[in-house]
Copies of this chain bind each other. A is one copy, B any other.
Amino acid sequence: MEISARNALKTTVKKVVTGSVNTEVTLELAPGVELVSIITKTSADNLGLVEGKQAYAVIKASDVIVAID
């Protein structure tokens, strides 16, 4: 499947914390650079997300806020 979301970053799953209906997934982009994602528990189960697995962080362009110091 090819998607319109402009941003698909290669990452490695670092941590998976399972909640009641949602799961928090920590993705490592590079050493020390992480992204946290909240997806449904069912999605996390379906994708078989476990520590060390390769995964993409997919983000729609309209969801990226820009900030400066």
Q: Which residues of A contact B (CB under 8 A)?
A: 1-9, 17-25, 27, 29-30, 33-40, 42-44, 46-49, 53-69
Contacts and interface: CB of A to CB of B under 8 A. Distances in A.
B67 A3 contact: yes
A65 B54 contact: no
Most chain B C-beta atoms within 10 Å of own C-beta, residue among A6, A17, A42: A6
A29 B29 contact: yes
B33 A9 contact: yes
Contact of A22 (B38, B63, B68): B38
A36 B4 CA distance: 12
A66 B47 contact: yes
A58 B68 contact: no
